[in-house]
Amino acid sequence: MEKKNRKNTRNKVWPETEVQLKFRDKAELHSNSITKIKAKVDNLSASGLFALTEERISSQTEVDIKIDFQPGEKKSNFIHATGIVLRQEDNGVAVQFTKIDTQLLGECIMAKLNSQK
């Protein structure tokens, strides 16, 4: 088995954590249509995430990301980021962040932890 060197530790997240990915499908280059999908987040790090979805997104596709730690709650707890799809697997897609406010990410995680008390 190939050893993968990671800069950041990946962590499982709360089962209700959702991600919305918006992107222009590379197969539809002449189209102005934007595809939006919602998925559950399997794991998350400061450098990326793995989204559980059966939707197919081509590698190297640029995506706009909204991670919602408390979907459906009155008090919002989310962060926006941008990223690029690294790979597609049978159960989802791996996305590397190209732009994310890691301080705000930490604040969102702390807010989620504090809401469970």
pTM for this one? Answer: 0.87
CA 69 remoteness from chain centre: 11
What token pair was written down for 56? Answer: 């197919």
Cα 106 to Cα 93: distance, rounded to the nearest angstrom: 23
99 near 84, Cβ under 8 Å?
A: no
93 near 42, Cβ under 8 Å?
A: no
Q: How far is CA 64 from CA 20, 86, 87, in A?
A: 8, 14, 16
pLDDT digits (tens, 9 = 90+) for 6-44: 567 778 899 999 999 999 876 666 667 889 999 999 999
pLDDT number for residue 31: 66
pLDDT digits (tens, 9 = 90+) for 96-111: 999 999 999 999 999 9
**Is 11-115 a CATH 1.20.1560.10 domain?**
no
